[in-house]
């Protein structure tokens, strides 16, 4: 969608996600794999200690990265999970299955009050209902890396490059923490923390540690998708076969897929807000990926988007109200605040807005 933040289009009207899909067919993946091998060899443990960190949720992507590092490249990754605030039973089962498949693992539960406050401030101030958790999945692994003297932290895909955002990092696997704050945190990190009014003690695991904690050299925050052609469906199949991943029994809220983002209930609210702000939701996002990887044609994708996109996760509303400690009126006011009036008209009788015809 042209409303996606940081998207661009070429002279033929192709978005940068589609341009990148075609560019990947001509990249020298052998050269990038060689760079990966050199990087891993420079940090490979000889004494059984951990030589890299992989943030995982028990889902397909982190499981795939950890499995590949261990079983193809002979590394000794330490898997780190930041416990989500509203976990699903399936998410917890998948995480345990991943651990049971043979990975050392640390689960971090940041201060629950601070997580709730940061998520609520993110919901109100940024239209981003798991903002606190998003912060922690970037900051907490740094604290763990410092304690285990790991210089490599591997995340999954570079979502900006893969899905049509900023192309600043297409030639570099490493992402700076300035970039994380500006792009991944939508330049709202300082605002949310200021409005949260939390103590330094409560913000443990939500802060970026100082460089001297690492002896003067920060670990490298790396996107695995730089080193090989990223394929979410392949990741799912590998995680299912080797890490015990199970998909949901039915399709997830707001989409037609059932094999990703199954770890927490707030993701459905996050993608609904994405729909309100930008006019595309989870089904559009998933369908676009399927079209680009050649598994679906555009007509099929459009039909699925018409059926599923923009569904309000009404079945979880009471859970959200309890978690954010908000009344239904206050909660809906925040949703209305973030609704893009250029795209939508609001009908007070309906929770799902209707597109403006232009």
Q: What is the pLDDT of residues 17-38, one digit of tens each?
A: 999 999 999 999 999 999 999 9
Q: Residue with structure tokens 């990887």?
A: 293
Question: Using 50, 70 and 90 to split pLDDT, how confident is the model at 358?
Answer: very low
Where does 149-200 have alpha helices with state H? 159-163, 177-179, 189-196
Q: Are residues 212 and 304 in the same domain?
A: no
Q: Are residues 330 and 201 in the same domain?
A: no
The pLDDT tens digits of the residues spanning 40-95 come to: 999 999 999 999 999 999 999 999 999 999 999 999 999 999 999 999 999 999 99
Return d(Cα 237, Cα 244) in angstroms, integer: 10
Q: Which helix (H) or strand (E) holds 286?
A: helix 282-292
Q: Are residues 201 and 258 in the same domain?
A: no
Q: Are residues 173 and 261 in the same domain?
A: no
Return d(Cα 252, Cα 273) in angstroms, integer: 16
Q: Are residues 209 and 299 in the same domain?
A: no
Domain, as residue range, for 140:
16-232
User: What is the per-residue pLDDT for 210?
Assistant: 82
- Whether 227 has a pLDDT exceeding 50, the answer reads yes
Positions of E strands within the chain:
52-55, 77-82, 105-108, 152-155, 220-223, 344-345, 354-355
User: What is the per-residue pLDDT for 347?
Assistant: 72
Q: Looking at the domain assignment, is residue 239 inside a domain?
A: no
- Whether 181 has a pLDDT exceeding 60, the answer reads yes
User: What is the per-residue pLDDT for 211?
Assistant: 73
Q: What is the maximum alpha-carbon separation in the chain?
A: 64
User: What is the per-residue pLDDT for 195?
Assistant: 96
Q: Are residues 138 and 193 in the same domain?
A: yes
Q: Looking at the domain assignment, is residue 256 inside a domain?
A: yes
Q: Looking at the domain assignment, is residue 130 inside a domain?
A: yes
User: What is the per-residue pLDDT for 355?
Assistant: 60
> Considering the entire predicted model, what is its pTM?
0.93
- Whether 356 has a pLDDT exceeding 60, the answer reads no
Six token digits for residue 338: 């973030």
Instruction: At 19, give phi and psi (nearest 5°).
Output: -60, -45
Averaged pLDDT score across all residues of the chain: 93
Terminal Cα-to-Cα distance of the chain (whole angstroms): 15
User: What is the per-residue pLDDT for 357?
Assistant: 44
Q: Are residues 310 and 191 in the same domain?
A: no
Q: Are residues 265 and 124 in the same domain?
A: no
Q: Are residues 140 and 269 in the same domain?
A: no
Query: Number of H helices and number of E strands within the chain?
Result: 15, 7
- Whether 352 has a pLDDT exceeding 80, the answer reads no
Return d(Cα 289, Cα 53) in angstroms, integer: 27
Q: Which of 232, 264, 298 is the last residue of a domain?
A: 232
- Whether 353 has a pLDDT exceeding 70, the answer reads no
Instruction: At 239, give phi and psi (nearest 5°).
Output: -65, -35
User: What is the per-residue pLDDT for 214?
Assistant: 75
- Domain CATH number, residue 202: 3.40.50
Q: Are residues 193 and 47 in the same domain?
A: yes
Q: Are residues 146 and 25 in the same domain?
A: yes
The pLDDT tens digits of the residues spanning 117-174 come to: 999 999 999 999 999 999 999 999 999 999 999 999 999 999 999 999 999 999 999 9
Q: Which of 170, 200, 232 is the last residue of a domain?
A: 232
Contacts of 174 (CB under 8 A, 6+ apart): 220, 221, 222
Instruction: Report the domain count for the chain.
Output: 2
Are 121 and 194 within 8 A, CB to CB?
A: no
The pLDDT tens digits of the residues spanning 280-306 come to: 999 999 999 999 999 999 999 999 999
Q: Are residues 211 and 100 in the same domain?
A: yes
Sign of CA dihedral 148, 133, 258, 343: negative
Q: Which carries the bigger pLDDT value, residue 210 or residue 182? A: 182
User: What is the per-residue pLDDT for 350?
Assistant: 53
Q: Looking at the domain assignment, is residue 209 inside a domain?
A: yes
What does the angle CA 197 – CA 199 – CA 204 come to, to the nearest 5 degrees? 120
């Amino acid at each position: 969608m042209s409303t996606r933040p940081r998207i661009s289009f070429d002279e033929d009207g192709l978005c940068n996600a589609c341009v990148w899909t075609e560019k990947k067919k001509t990249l020298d993946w052998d050269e990038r794999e060689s760079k990966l091998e050199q990087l891993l060899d420079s940090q490979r443990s000889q004494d059984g200690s951990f030589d890299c960190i992989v943030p995982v949720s028990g889902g397909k992507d982190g499981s795939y990265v950890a499995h590949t590092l261990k079983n193809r490249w002979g590394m000794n990754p330490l898997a780190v999970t930041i416990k989500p605030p509203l976990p699903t039973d399936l998410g917890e089962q998948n995480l345990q299955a991943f651990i049971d498949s043979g990975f050392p693992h640390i689960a971090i539960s940041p201060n629950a009050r601070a997580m709730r406050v940061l998520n609520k401030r993110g919901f109100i101030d940024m239209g981003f209902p798991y903002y606190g958790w998003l912060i922690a999945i970037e900051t907490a692994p740094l604290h763990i890396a410092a304690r285990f003297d790991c210089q490599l932290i591997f995340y999954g895909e570079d979502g900006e490059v893969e899905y049509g955002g900023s192309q600043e990092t297409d030639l570099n696997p490493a992402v700076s923490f300035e970039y994380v704050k500006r792009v991944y945190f939508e330049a709202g990190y300082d605002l949310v923390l200021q409005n949260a009014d939390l103590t330094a003690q409560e913000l443990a695991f939500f802060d970026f540690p100082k460089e001297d904690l690492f002896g003067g050299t920060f670990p490298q925050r790396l996107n695995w998708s730089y080193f090989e052609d990223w394929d979410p469906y392949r990741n799912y199949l590998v995680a299912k076969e080797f890490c015990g991943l199970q998909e949901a029994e039915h399709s997830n809220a707001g989409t037609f897929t059932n094999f990703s983002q199954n770890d927490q209930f707030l993701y459905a609210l996050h993608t609904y807000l994405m729909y309100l702000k930008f006019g595309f939701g989870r089904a559009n996002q998933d369908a676009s990926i399927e079209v680009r990887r050649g598994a679906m044609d555009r007509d099929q994708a459009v039909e699925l988007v018409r059926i599923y996109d923009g569904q309000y996760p009404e079945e979880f509303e009471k859970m959200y109200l309890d978690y954010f400690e908000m009344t239904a009126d206050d909660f809906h006011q925040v949703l209305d605040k973030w609704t893009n009036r250029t795209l939508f008209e609001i009908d007070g009788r309906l929770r799902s807005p209707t597109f403006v015809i232009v």
